[in-house]
């Protein structure tokens, strides 16, 4: 009943600038109730006569089941192209067609184990809700927030409330430890005795984290960001090579079977290709 995505006309409640990002709060009754950390929304952009037809996907940062205005969902985004530029130009009361929540959320540990959460740039957005859930289950939570520079970090203050420990890294050293999130990870995994690492950020970061997790014998849960045309599983654009329980590699849709994957199941180095041996791997190609 309270599963499955909704499609509805959301209404802009607030739009604030946070560093290099926009923080958008949408009134979207019903979505919050169904949201679990790691899920995303797909927003239509550009209005009724839009030349940009494809929906844009955004991790859900926060979801509140009720409130003065009815349930809300919040996202954090960077202006990148026409779709995000349009979103950044919305005003309170404007309508946005929302579909959500979508995708498979982060899997939660059954035991109260130590967890490390790593967010790259706006990739930290879905980690705060996750941290809450983990703490509810008695897990200890340690966070790493990494970005190219200070203005590209999101949620450092909030992280201090959400986690037992927080490490911030920036590549330009403008704040925190200079370097990448993955530089500080081995130490942290060892120090916290982590059982699971959760990660959301660019593919390169996820790939490195999945490898480190394996080296340390730690489970990893990685939220990927593949290009998506529909977000709901009907177009087959968002695929990625993933090894199944049966050992077979398949091109799987990251919108419905992800965006969160077990890090050890994704063939990171082969993303963007059809690795040899994949189910139904290429022969002479047909255009469609």
Residues that bind a second copy (CB under 8 A): 46, 48-52, 82
Least Cα distance to 43 among 95, 92, 118 occurs for 95
Q: Of 229, 251, 267, 274, which lies in the binding site for ligand FES, with binding defined by CB under 6 A?
A: 229
User: Which residue number, 70 or 82, has a Cβ lying nearer to a second copy?
Assistant: 82
How many Cβ atoms sit within 10 Å of the Cβ of residue 61? 25
Least Cα distance to 219 among 145, 124, 111, 136 occurs for 111
Q: Where are the alpha helices (DSSP H) in 94-169?
A: 127-136, 156-162
Q: State the binding partner of 288 from a second copy, ligand FES, ligand FMN, none, CB within 5 to 8 A by kind.
A: ligand FMN
Q: State the binding partner of 225 from ligand FAD, other proteins, a second copy, none, CB within 5 to 8 A by kind.
A: ligand FAD
Q: How far is CA 30 from CA 35, 42, 153, 244, in A?
A: 9, 15, 30, 33
Least Cα distance to 240 among 275, 208, 204 occurs for 275
Site string for other proteins, 142-171 (x = CB under 8 A): ------------------------------
Q: Of 51, 157, 284, 288, which lies in the binding site for ligand FMN, with binding defined by CB under 6 A?
A: 288
Site string for ligand FAD, 25-44 (x = CB under 6 A): ---------------x----
CA atoms within 13 A on the CB side of 242: 19
Tokens 């490490």 belong to 167
SS3 24: strand
Site string for ligand FAD, 67-86 (x = CB under 6 A): --------xxxx-xxxxx--
Q: Does 251 bind ligand FMN (CB under 6 A)?
A: no
How many Cβ atoms sit within 10 Å of the Cβ of residue 129? 23
Q: How far is CA 205 from the centre of its chain?
A: 13
Beta carbon of residue 229, minimum distance to ligand FES (angstroms, whole number): 5
201 phi and psi angles, rounded to 5 deg: 165, -165
Provide the binding-site residues for ligand FES, judged by CB under 6 A: 228-231, 233-238, 253, 255
Provide the binding-site residues for ligand FMN, judged by CB under 6 A: 235, 288
Provide the binding-site residues for other proteins, judged by CB under 8 A: 1, 3-9, 44, 48-55, 81, 97, 99, 203-204, 207, 226-227, 229-230, 232-240, 250-251, 256, 268-274, 278-282, 284-288
């Amino acid at each position: 009943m309270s599963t499955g995505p909704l499609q509805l006309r959301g209404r802009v409640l607030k739009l604030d600038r946070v560093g290099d990002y926009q923080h958008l709060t949408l009134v979207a009754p019903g979505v919050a109730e169904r949201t679990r950390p790691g899920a995303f929304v797909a927003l239509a952009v550009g209005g009724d006569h839009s030349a940009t037809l494809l929906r844009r996907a955004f991790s859900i940062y926060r979801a509140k089941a009720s409130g003065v205005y009815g349930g809300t969902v919040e996202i954090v985004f960077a202006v990148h192209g026409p779709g995000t530029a349009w979103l950044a130009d919305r005003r309170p009361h404007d309508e946005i067609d929302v579909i959500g929540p979508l995708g498979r959320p982060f899997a939660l540990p059954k035991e109260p184990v130590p967890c490390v959460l790593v967010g790259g740039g706006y990739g930290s957005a879905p980690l705060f809700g996750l941290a809450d859930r983990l703490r509810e289950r008695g897990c200890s939570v340690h966070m790493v927030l990494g970005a190219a520079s200070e203005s590209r970090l999101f949620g450092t203050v909030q992280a201090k409330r959400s986690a037992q420990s927080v490490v911030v890294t920036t590549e330009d050293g403008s704040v925190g430890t200079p370097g990448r999130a993955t530089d500080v990870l081995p130490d942290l995994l060892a120090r916290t005795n982590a059982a699971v690492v959760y990660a959301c950020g660019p593919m390169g970061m996820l790939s490195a984290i999945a490898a480190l997790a394996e080296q340390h014998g730690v489970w990893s849960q990685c939220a990927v960001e593949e290009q998506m045309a529909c977000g709901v599983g009907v177009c087959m654009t968002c695929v990625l090579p993933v090894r199944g329980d049966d050992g077979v590699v398949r091109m799987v849709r990251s919108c419905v079977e992800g965006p969160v994957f077990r890090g050890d199941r994704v063939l990171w180095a082969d993303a963007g290709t059809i690795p040899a041996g994949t189910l139904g791997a290429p022969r002479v190609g047909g255009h469609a």
